[in-house]
Structure 1
Amino acid sequence: MLTALSIRDVVLIESLDLEFGRGLGVLTGETGAGKSILLDSLGLALGARSDSALVRNGQAQAVVTASFDLSRDHPALALLEESGLEGEPGEPLVVRRIVKADGGSRALVNDQAVSVALLRDLGAMLVEIHGQHDDRGLLNPRGHRALLDAFGGIDTKAAEAAYRTWNEAEAALAEAREALAEAARDRDWLEHAVTELKQLSPQSGEEEELALLRANMQKGARLAEDIGTANDLLDGSEGGLSMLRQAARRLERIAGEHDKLGEALEALDRALVEASEAEMRLGEAAEALSCDPARLEEAEARLFELRAVARKHRIEPGKLPELAEQLAQRLAALEAGDQGLAALEQKVAAGRAAFDAEAVRLTEARTEAATRLDLAVARELAPLKLDSARFRTAMEALPETQWSARGRDRIEFEVSTNPGAPFAPLTRIASGGELSRFILSLKVALAESGGATTMIFDEIDRGVGGAVASAVGERLHRLSETAQLLVVTHSPQVAARGNRHLLIEKSHQGLVTRTSVHVLDESKRREEIARMLSGAEVTDEARAQATRLLEAA
């Protein structure tokens, strides 16, 4: 519910801080005192269109701040979470709108900048403003189906699940058909590519191995002469190793004759070990770099074939095995396509049948709920001086292109204001007073069906008095038992029903005009209701009547 409203520099309001409580709050004041400014300010905080003309003359900006106390399951908290904004159950929700004199504006929720569109969506969940120019809430046919479902306690979850399953099956079928159509268009190419890749039989990592083998064989051909010469110099009867061995044998016979000869023998032994190691490594290199022309030709042919096919398909050679598997699967799917489509078509048919059954159930439940709602509203019309009017909940089947997860019914509230007149949407009612009373009758009938926890009625009692005004006040009081209501009224019968009374006044100081709001105590409230009864001069009789109205409330 709305707990506080702070207004700074909006038109005639210089500074205003208001607190609100539960139940029915009434706002009264003489015509032109500024009640519309108060409502415009609240609307601004809730996302209404901004206008630099709202900024008080001579000021740089106007600021409106509204605070709300929300239940833990309030839908506004879910919207905050979806939008990535901070908002904790049990903590006040604060919305703020700043309008600058140069035309710019800012919107904030809990001191976090948001778009005006988000603020407007949030505002619609927080407050319902009902007046003759209101184009949302009960006047918007797009919300009538949800209102009827809430009134009838109609659960749409099963229909939503069936619709989702049906849609998913439809999407899968469409995707399969598109894939098959695309594959069919390229069938000749696909068959050729699969055959070619099957014959090629590319292996994972094969291209890298062939490239390395080819490089080594080419290198071996280039180094073969040097490797052979080095091998000849080391090996053979006249090679380096043979000479070293002969020298070692001679030194071995005389090494004991002198220390230096022994040291020379040791050095030769080490050289022989290293030279033997070199001979072995040279042999291994010769084997690794050996170039078999036939084998080289075979490796090059395979390598070039792999690379040529990869270029044709515009992929890296290493991805050929993956491509071969993908294309084989596409061809297999094409060949088994009719069977796959038949299975998907069966799923679509089953999904549609399930949704049809749920949609029929919803239609039947809504038909029954519509009958009850029509009777409930009809009971409220006569006391509100709408006894010639009729109300009905119009239902019609939507075309299949407009079906949704919530069924296939179009719901709209319609009225006929005079005997014999055709039914028409609520917005066709010419009289603002009649429209407000129709909205009140609907709200009373839908009282247990949810909606915003704060409702504002702007001059709902326009053009009525006496018993009708009393009936309006009684119904507003009844509504306030389940929701917070704020009512702008000129009716003393309505004002007397309020739990809290705010008086809006305009004052003048020289060339400066200001609007102020005062919370009235019991004596001042009785005086204000007496003024509403008698006009400019408050009489004792009016005061006595005001007392009787307050006591009867």
Structure 2
Amino acid sequence: MLRHMRIRGLGVIDDATLDLADGLNVLTGETGAGKTMVVSGLGLLLGARADAGMVRHDVRHAVVEGSVELPSHHPARERALEAGALLDNDDDLILTRTVSGEGRSKAHVGGRQAPVAILAELGELLVAVHGQADQWRLRRPEQHRVVLDEYGAAPLAAAAHAYTHAYRALAATQAELRRVTELARDRAVETEVLRTGLDELERLDPQPGEDEELRAEDARLSHSDALRFAAGAAHDALRGEDDTVEEGATGLLTLARNALAAQHGHDPQLDALEARTTELVYLVADLGTDLAAYLDHVDADPVRLAAVQERRAALARLTRTYGDTIDDVLEWGRRAALRLDELDGAHDRVEILRAQAINEQSTLVDAALALSRARHHAASALSAAVTAELGHLAMGRARIDVAVERHEAPDDGLPLPDGTRVRFGPHGIDNVEIRLAANPGAPARSVAKAASGGELSRVMLALEVVTAATPAGDTPDPEGHRPDTFVFDEVDAGVGGQAALAVGARLARLARHAQVVVVTHLPQVAAYADRHLVVHKSSDGHITSSGVSVLDDDARLSELARMMAGHSSEVALEHARELLEQARRRRDNTD
């Protein structure tokens, strides 16, 4: 809620401060006093485009500052804190906009410099400005749906929440299905590689350590002649069967042992040497026997050698592809079998997701139709309520039609039970448009195109009055957050008399639920004010400047008299008193 605003160096305003209250704040003043500059200053504070022509010619900068009250739950508070803003102890946020004479603009949010776009974001959450050029809520088609959903409130909220849940569930399933499907080609290639490798392993059937065993056998068979010669020479040397030695090692060791045995028992040290020699005799004898056995088995076997080398070559193909050793290859085969089972299961995952998507699509269609029915019901009620409100705002011949139509998409939409294909969006299958028929028999057109500036403000006033009683917590859409402050400019254009009193009564009714700021030239509207501010101008003959004051009861009577008669005569003051009393009675009787 907007509490204070200070404007310096903007147009005719030299230095003015607005202290705003809860309820209905009315801003009046003579023509040319600067009421428009107050609204323009508020626009700058809310992120509107800056214009160097707005800066007073005798200053370097125009500055607009505003203090906004932000309770803990307010979405604008969260956005401001994200931008680095600091709040004071009263949870007030200070916004500042500076515009130089060259047109350069700076924004500060909570004492921190920020992009002007942040002010615009905060502005849409904080203040709704309804003037000829500021009807953003009606000029954006998506906002028409938000207005309807606000009005539908609790009855519509359950349907909207059910649809949102179904929409997100299907979107998540479809995203997962796309991800799994997009990987199908890669899975097919990987599956083929794994199957080929596993088939080769199954055909060759390698055994643990087989590559090392075959390497050793290959070396033995390849060198069989040299191995036989070496073993035979060693055997002959041990047995004395070599013509180059007189006696073999076995005979010499036997002689040595016999010589030592002849003196056995005379010296323990010599007896120990005899025992060791005897052991050598036995070891050499065993070695000779083993060499003889080795000679019996070491034969050249070209057929076996060829088989070993062929087997080694086959195993080498495996180790080149799947691991450094056969044991590594066997470990790869174990992992590959597990991965293949997983990939085979991926096909089942696709089928499961497809079935799940079909079920969720059916749920989404049901939820969309339920939401659409709720919107049609709310649209009929809203059309009637706003049309009735327009009857109180000098637009009694106008008719509002809230049209709810479906996003038809014959080529890429989802089918409804009747065969129609429609596009499903985050908020349903409906296009919502608020249409206005300004006169009987005239076709209803989008309200943003069919209404003039003043009419558009009154349509928006009617909408705000009708939707204001909706509890905030019942809004089914987070985009449907209503601002706490409404500003109306030109809402009374083209009306007067009793119609003007009706406009004031409707503004006062809206002010029961929100802060309302109205710029008006009609005393019938100003008479409803909870706080009356006046823009006054002064001139020293060379420079004209304006300021803003809050009126007390006497000053208010004088201002109403001026607005009614152009001066504050006793007759005009009496008429002003009658007008205030009439407004009081009408406010008390307004539903």
State the Cα distance separating 1:379 from its structure 2 match: 1.7
Letter in 2 for 1:501: H
The answer as to 2:363 corresponding to 1:342 is no
Q: Does 1:426 align with 2:456?
A: no
1:455·1:483 contact (CA, 8 Å) conserved in 2? yes
SS of 1:9's equivalent in the other structure is strand
Instruction: Indicate how the Cα distance of structure 1 residues 504 and 84 shifts in structure 2: closer, same or farther if over 3 A, else same.
Output: closer
SS in 2 for 1:56: coil
**Conserved? CA contact 1:469–1:494, under 8 Å:** yes
Question: 1:253-280: CA deviations, max 9, x gaps?
Answer: xxxxxxxxxxxxxxxxxxxxxxxxxxxx
Distance 2:8 2:331 in 1: 69
Q: Is the CA contact (8 Å cut-off) linking 1:77 and 1:88 kept in structure 2? A: no
Structure 1 residue 24 corresponds to structure 2 residue 39: no
Residue in structure 2 matched with residue 145 of structure 1 by the alignment: 145
Map 1:174-189; keep pairs closer than 5 Å: 174-184=178-188, 188-189=192-193
| Contact 1:180/1:334 (<8 A) preserved | no
Contact 1:72 1:89 in 2 (8 A): no
- In 1, Cα distance between equivalents of 2:144 and 2:163: 18
* C-alpha distance in 1 between matches for 2:338 and 2:188: 14
CA contact (8 A) 2:44 2:50 kept: yes
Aligned pair partner of 2:367 in 358, 366, 370? 358
**Cα deviation digits, residues 290-324 of structure 1 (max 9, x gap):** xxxxxxxxxxx99998996599xxxxxxx999998
Task: Look up the match of 1:261.
Answer: none
Q: Does 1:543 align with 2:573?
A: yes
User: Do the aligned residues in 2 keep the contact of 1:501 with 1:519 (CA within 8 Å)?
Assistant: yes
Q: Which moved more, 1:156-165 or 1:468-477?
A: 156-165
1:21-60 to structure 2, matched below 5 A, reads: 21-60=21-60
| Alignment RMSD | 3.6
Checking the alignment, whether the CA contact within 8 Å between 1:4 and 1:68 is kept in structure 2 is: yes
CA contact under 8 A between 2:322 and 2:332: conserved in structure 1?
A: no
Name which of structure 1's ranges 48-57 and 495-504 shifts more when overlaid on structure 2: 48-57
Structure 2 residue 463 is the aligned partner of structure 1 residue 442:
yes
Contact 1:76–1:125 under 8 Å retained in 2: yes
2:520 maps to 1:499: no
SS state at 1:343 partner: helix
Quote the Cα distance in structure 2 between the aligned partners of 1:322 and 1:444.
75
Counterparts of 1:320 and 1:493 in 2: how far apart (Å)?
95
SS, match of residue 384 in structure 1? coil
Please, which of 379, 391, 394 is the counterpart of residue 400 of structure 2? 391
Going from structure 1 to structure 2, the CA distance change for 1:4 and 1:342 (only over 3 Å counts) comes to same
* C-alpha distance in 1 between matches for 2:25 and 2:78: 28
Task: Report the equivalent of 2:516.
Answer: 485
Measured after TM superposition, the shift of residue 23 of structure 1 is: 1.0
Superposition map of 1:117-266 within 5 A: 117-153=117-153, 154-155=156-157, 156-184=160-188, 188-189=192-193, 191-192=195-196
Alignment check: 8 A CA contact 2:393 2:502 kept? yes
Distance 1:182 1:487, change over 3 A: same
Q: CA deviation at 1:512?
A: 1.5
User: In terms of mean alpha carbon deviation, does 432-441 or 80-89 score higher?
Assistant: 80-89
CA distance in 2, matches of 1:67, 1:452: 15
Contact 2:83 2:114 in 1 (8 A): no
Shift of 1:187: 5.5
Match of 2:384 in 1: 375
Taking the aligned partners of 2:355 and 2:4, their CA distance within structure 1 comes to: 58
SS at match of 1:446: helix
SS in 1 for 2:456: helix
Q: What fraction of aligned residue pairs are identical, expressed as a percent?
A: 38
* Alignment partner, residue 206 of structure 1: none
Larger radius of gyration: 2
Matches of 1:190 and 1:49, distance apart in 2: 64
TM-score (ref. length: structure 2): 0.70
* Corresponding residue of 2:424: 403
- Report the secondary structure of 2:167's partner residue: helix
TM-score by length of 1: 0.74
Take 1:487 and 1:86, find their aligned partners in 2: how far apart are those partners?
30
- Which string of whole-angstrom CA distances, capped at 9 and with x for unpartnered residues, describes residues 468-494 of structure 1? 001001111111111111100011100
Paired amino acid for 2:131: G
CA contact (8 A) 1:201 1:321 kept: no
Mean CA deviation greater in 454-463 or 320-329: 320-329
Equivalent pair of 1:71/1:89 in contact (CA under 8 Å): no
**8 A Cα contact 1:2 1:67, kept in partner:** yes
SS in 1 for 2:396: coil
Provide the rounded CA distance (Å) in 1 between the counterparts of 2:514 and 2:201.
73
Alignment CA distance shift 1:418-1:340 (3 Å): same
Specify the code of the residue in structure 2 equivalent to 1:405. Answer: P
Counterpart amino acid of 1:421?
A
**Residue 454 in structure 1 maps to residue 489 in structure 2:** no
Letter in 1 for 2:579: L
- Which consecutive unaligned segments of at least 5 residues does structure 1 have? 203-209, 211-300, 312-318
Q: Distance in 2 between the 1:81 and 1:37 partners?
A: 30
- Partners of 2:527 and 2:364 lie apart in 1 by 52
